[in-house]
Structure 1
Amino acid sequence: MDQSEILKPEQLDDASKGHPKGLYVLFATEMWERFNYYGMRAILVLFMTKALLFDKAFASNLYGSYTGLVYLTPLIGGFVADRYWGNRRSIITGGILMALGELLMFACASLYQTNLDVSSFLFFSGLGFMIAGNGFFKPNISSMVGQLYKPGDRRLDSAYTIFYMGINVGGALGPFICGYFGDTGNPADYKWAFLAAAVAMMIGVVVFINLKDKYVRGPEGAPLGMKPVQEGKEMNPVLVYLSLLLFSAVCVGLLYIDANVYSYLSYLLLAAVLGIAYMIFSDKKLTKVEKKKISVIFILAFFVVFFWSAFEQAGASLTFFAEETTQRDLGFFTIPASWFQSLNSVFVVVFAPIFAWLWIKLGRREPSAPTKMAIGLMLLAVGYFVIAVGVKDVGAGIKVSMMWLIGMYAFHTWGELCLSPIGLSLVNKLAPLKFASLLMAVWFLANAGANVLSGKLSSLYPDGGHSTNFAGYEMNNLNEFFMLFVGMAGVASIILFVLTKWLQKTMTATS
């Protein structure tokens, strides 16, 4: 789901010494924020198609634009925090903006039956506030975990694992609770899902505000995340709030334009990556070895796009599949389609320690980072092959066992555990210090691009007997649709396997 470090067995002895209480404050804050984000995401395309009556293609593209911008705005929020506000103020600001966004969505879902124009305005405004808030919250909460410990503290890996579990506890509870209250079969009830997400975000903000001063402190006892020291007068609070509203309005506008006027986001992301690449590789102070290692980051970021664009179908086409084509009736209870989005987080909590143990157990035979990523892509392809088999030759109107969907999510989670945990770590290892932040931006731009592509691919979901086409490949049914992802991820995996030895050699180059 989200990228982080995984606990290694050699860290267990250090973890037994205990962790700063500030870690658990950050754990709880992040858990409630992830509850908010994944809970809302679980019902977003259902709300768009069943309440607002958007067609699936438009809803899918809008979903991709929203999640793509969610990965873009942290670049701005991180910059503001580093230069002006500090982590604390940014986290609180981001949390409040996201809570306001959910309340706007609640208002939208309350009014769509009586005033569609106002409801549509509130809908785009709510998503815009969510995008802006995430930009301030997301890059700052994670960075504070490392600040709780002294450099070289061996408890750090286990600390990130605990934090990672907080992410996934929230990711599991959000779709479950929001789906329970909102995904009832009555579109009018979606408002309760947005309200539950708003309450969760407010709980996270309150927890952080009340406990940060006492517990979120560095190893020497100094409070963490304070504003950087600046010369001159501080900005007028009125101007600060006006700037926040302007930033949120810009996010609303960016989303609306991409969805309704011109789909520009893909081109913007590509231009940003090319611009950063030119800026870095034209730097004459970089050595030949440094440039080789940087090239590995760009190559792996390219392959990451194929993984996340297929993986993120969970919030779009796979939600349509769960709603319409999965047998969810247990006789005594019908499982909400949104609940299946909890599976990934549940599987991460169950299998992450097993994978961490496996890599250590393999010792010298442990695969290299690029090999692990190739394995992750192949497992993703296998997951889609499983569900493609499940729907093969199934007639119109026939629903298939939920075990096909559950099995697919298991393979996807195993793929994630092979690919995701090493991503950020690899960037940190290979990036020269002077370009560390810029190359991290490349990694997040790849994720943003993957989410935009995810929405475009989901818009090809065969609906009502209509055929769709992607690069000459025609899809007339669900089997052919899911085989598209088998082909994309499988081919990408094979190419990455072929490149593995060269990439490994380049990563360790000395001349």
Structure 2
Amino acid sequence: MHPTPVDLHEQPPQHVEATSSSHPRGLYLLFATEMWERFSYYGMRAVLVLFLTDAMLMDKAFASKFYGGYTSLIYLTPLIGAYISDRYWGNRRSILTGGLLMALGQFILFASASNYGPATTHPLSHWLLYLGLGAMIVGNGFFKPNISSMVGSLYTPGDKRKDAAYTIFYLGINLGSLIGNTITSTVGDTGHPSDFRWAFLACGIAMTLGTLVFNWGKTKYLHTPQGQQVGTTPAHSTTVKGLFALLPVLLVLVLGILYLDSTKVSVIAPLLGLAVVGIAFMVFTDKSLSAADLQGVLVIFVVSFFVVFFWAAFEQAPASLTFFAKDNMDRTIFGHELPPSLFQNLNAFFVVTGAPLMALLWTALGKRGLEPPSPVKMALGLALLALGYLVMCFGVKGLQPGVKVSMFFLVALYFFHSYGELCLSPIGLSLVNKLAPVKFASLLMGVWFLANAGANYLAGYMSSLYPDPQSNAPAPVLLGYQITNLYDFFMVFVVSAAVAAAILLTISGKLVKIMNAREAEAA
């Protein structure tokens, strides 16, 4: 499949939107595009681990690490996509290319799930699994950082509506997740392994729709308040179409990394470390950046470090928490047993219903001069994450074999996690956009996703420590701490998130001073 060409000579819109309390219509185009893409990603992710264990017959520990490797690469490749976008393609071409690749990947997964089985008897199915995931990894690398950075480009520097805009944008993410997870859990997680293919087919259709929606409205709606088109090909770019030849190379590279990491030796963790060092060197040695610019970048790196602790615990949802829902929780309601993957929808539901409330809260507090700064909001998010796992600890403490836990505890966990997410993720996206120098806007958005990459890799490792009573393996050990039961397992996340929240809150004052100096210079 060849990416759809982008018009390099797009004309500005005939009417310029006036700056007002309302948001530009381009925000809602990006909202719709992201909604369909998140339908595709989260819908597939909801059933992925169950597909690996129930259809491909992988054990839980291997499936967890495989999931962690895949999701970490999903967030690592935006570094490459952001670099190419900044210098050669622009946001629009990158989004269209990424969208088409991700749609192709979902359709390949549909083919894999149509002839499933263990690797010993169904090798083609497993190779198609790798190929489909690889296409989505590469596609996401071009799609994700560019659509996120475009949200901020619709506003002028210092516009107070940015935090609310990212919260609205985040609503689109979770609305897509809510719809996608509901559909894929219903048609795919039925207890019959042959039905997983319908989940992947639905995700492929959704991704295709999202790409078409973006292509339809990009010229008409994506512009600044002054009417200048945003996300077009950089004026200095001389190599545009030739870079499409790199896509097969990137795909082969990603497939090799995913295969080696899941079957041979860890290669993703060293890559993450090299990426951090490489980006830091590239940015901090750039002599064109001012001292305030560099301090702002430093804040991005510091905050991104704490984000790792949040997402490593949060991303247990499609892995260990789904194992828990399947094996240890009473899922019967009104005489009907719910699919275990459907409970991941609680996060999307709470975010969709809570995002407007949080946007109103931040706006109301801002008008009164009481809105907490971004680092404090993010520390609150970590604290709420710890609280969610603490509730779960009460539910599983002293749990006897064969006894099922009430679904109340998992519902409560997702409630606290969702509001913690609203305090951390959209606020973090907005913070990166505010502090990043224009020259490195997409690349530093990639740093935000690099933190997610590390967190997801760690999440897969942590999920592999899930105490499985059906396994004959010895109890897992983490830094000398033996995990013998579910209480021990969930307590790890309580402690790590609470400590991270306390440290971030302690240093938030210094971070705010740096942020204020950077924003004052930008204004």
- Say yes or no: TM over 0.5: yes
Identity %: 56
Alpha-carbon offset, residue 406 of structure 1: 0.7
Are 1:322 and 2:325 counterparts? Answer: yes
Determine if contact 1:14/1:154 at 8 Å carries over to the other structure: no
Measure the CA separation in 2 of the matches of 1:60 and 1:385: 23
Alpha-carbon offset, residue 433 of structure 1: 5.1
Alpha-carbon offset, residue 396 of structure 1: 1.3
Unaligned runs of 5+ in 2: 1-18, 519-523
Q: Pick which of 79-88 and 50-59 moved more.
A: 79-88
Measure the CA separation in 1 of the matches of 2:330 and 2:391: 16
What residue in structure 1 maps to residue 508 of structure 2?
A: 500
Alpha-carbon offset, residue 325 of structure 1: 1.2
Deviations, residues 349-380 of structure 1 (Å, cap 9, x unaligned)? 22223333434555444433322222221111
Map 1:238-387 onto structure 2 (within 5 A). Answer: 240=244, 242-281=245-284, 292-362=295-365, 363-387=368-392
Alpha-carbon offset, residue 32 of structure 1: 0.9
Q: 1:163 aligns with which of 169, 172, 188?
A: 169
Q: Pick which of 113-122 and 98-107 moved more.
A: 113-122
Unaligned runs of 5+ in 1: 1-12
Are 1:388 and 2:393 counterparts? Answer: yes
Deviations, residues 196-215 of structure 1 (Å, cap 9, x unaligned)? 11111112223333444555
Q: 1:52 aligns with which of 52, 56, 76?
A: 56
What residue in structure 2 maps to residue 181 of structure 1?
A: 187
What residue in structure 2 maps to residue 459 of structure 1?
A: 464
Q: 1:84 aligns with which of 79, 82, 88?
A: 88
Measure the CA separation in 1 of the matches of 2:362 and 2:227: 36
Alpha-carbon offset, residue 152 of structure 1: 6.7
SS of corresponding position for 2:482: strand
SS of corresponding position for 1:463: coil
What residue in structure 2 maps to residue 411 of structure 1?
A: 416
Determine if contact 1:14/1:155 at 8 Å carries over to the other structure: no
Are 1:110 and 2:118 counterparts? Answer: no
Alpha-carbon offset, residue 413 of structure 1: 1.3
Q: Pick which of 438-447 and 152-161 moved more.
A: 152-161
Measure the CA separation in 2 of the matches of 1:288 and 1:226: 29
Determine if contact 1:325/1:399 at 8 Å carries over to the other structure: yes
Alpha-carbon offset, residue 346 of structure 1: 1.4
Measure the CA separation in 1 of the matches of 2:277 and 2:267: 16
What residue in structure 2 maps to residue 198 of structure 1?
A: 204
What residue in structure 2 maps to residue 136 of structure 1?
A: 142
Are 1:491 and 2:499 counterparts? Answer: yes
Q: Pick which of 34-43 and 303-312 moved more.
A: 303-312
Q: 1:481 aligns with which of 489, 500, 504?
A: 489
Measure the CA separation in 2 of the matches of 1:501 and 1:154: 21
Map 1:10-49 onto structure 2 (within 5 A). Answer: 14-16=20-22, 19-20=24-25, 22-49=26-53
Alpha-carbon offset, residue 500 of structure 1: 3.2
Q: Pick which of 425-434 and 296-305 moved more.
A: 425-434
Alpha-carbon offset, residue 286 of structure 1: 6.3
SS of corresponding position for 1:323: helix
Measure the CA separation in 2 of the matches of 1:219 and 1:365: 28
Q: 1:401 aligns with which of 396, 402, 406?
A: 406
Determine if contact 1:15/1:158 at 8 Å carries over to the other structure: no
Are 1:75 and 2:79 counterparts? Answer: yes
Measure the CA separation in 1 of the matches of 2:478 and 2:51: 26
Measure the CA separation in 1 of the matches of 2:406 and 2:67: 27
Measure the CA separation in 2 of the matches of 1:232 and 1:506: 37
Measure the CA separation in 2 of the matches of 1:286 and 1:209: 34
What residue in structure 1 maps to residue 13 of structure 2?
A: none
What residue in structure 1 maps to residue 6 of structure 2?
A: none
Deviations, residues 442-472 of structure 1 (Å, cap 9, x unaligned)? 3322121111111111110001264111001
Measure the CA separation in 2 of the matches of 1:216 and 1:292: 30
SS of corresponding position for 2:105: helix
Distance 1:32 1:286, change over 3 A: closer
Determine if contact 2:316/2:459 at 8 Å carries over to the other structure: yes
**TM-score by structure 2 length?**
0.86
Measure the CA separation in 2 of the matches of 1:340 and 1:397: 21
Measure the CA separation in 2 of the matches of 1:41 and 1:350: 22
Measure the CA separation in 1 of the matches of 2:438 and 2:281: 18
Alpha-carbon offset, residue 227 of structure 1: 3.1
Determine if contact 1:19/1:159 at 8 Å carries over to the other structure: no
Q: Pick which of 495-504 and 333-342 moved more.
A: 495-504
Deviations, residues 391-428 of structure 1 (Å, cap 9, x unaligned)? 11111122111110010011111211222232233334
Distance 1:350 1:147, change over 3 A: same
Measure the CA separation in 2 of the matches of 1:432 and 1:206: 31
SS of corresponding position for 1:400: coil
Measure the CA separation in 2 of the matches of 1:287 and 1:214: 35
Measure the CA separation in 1 of the matches of 2:513 and 2:502: 18
Measure the CA separation in 1 of the matches of 2:312 and 2:505: 19
Q: Which amino acid aligns with 2:65?
A: N
Determine if contact 2:152/2:430 at 8 Å carries over to the other structure: no
Alpha-carbon offset, residue 269 of structure 1: 1.0
Map 1:413-432 onto structure 2 (within 5 A). Answer: 413-432=418-437
Distance 1:406 1:456, change over 3 A: same
Determine if contact 1:92/1:137 at 8 Å carries over to the other structure: yes
Alpha-carbon offset, residue 278 of structure 1: 4.3
Distance 1:292 1:397, change over 3 A: same
SS of corresponding position for 2:399: coil
What residue in structure 2 maps to residue 470 of structure 1?
A: 478
Q: Which amino acid aligns with 2:126?
A: S
What residue in structure 2 maps to residue 6 of structure 1?
A: none
What residue in structure 1 maps to residue 70 of structure 2?
A: 66
Deviations, residues 138-188 of structure 1 (Å, cap 9, x unaligned)? 122233344555667776655544433221110111111000000001111
Q: Which amino acid aligns with 1:403?
A: F
Measure the CA separation in 1 of the matches of 2:148 and 2:438: 19
What residue in structure 1 maps to residue 447 of structure 2?
A: 442
Q: 1:96 aligns with which of 100, 106, 121?
A: 100
Alpha-carbon offset, residue 285 of structure 1: 7.1
Distance 1:327 1:55, change over 3 A: same
Alpha-carbon offset, residue 106 of structure 1: 0.8
Distance 1:152 1:233, change over 3 A: closer
Measure the CA separation in 2 of the matches of 1:56 and 1:144: 38
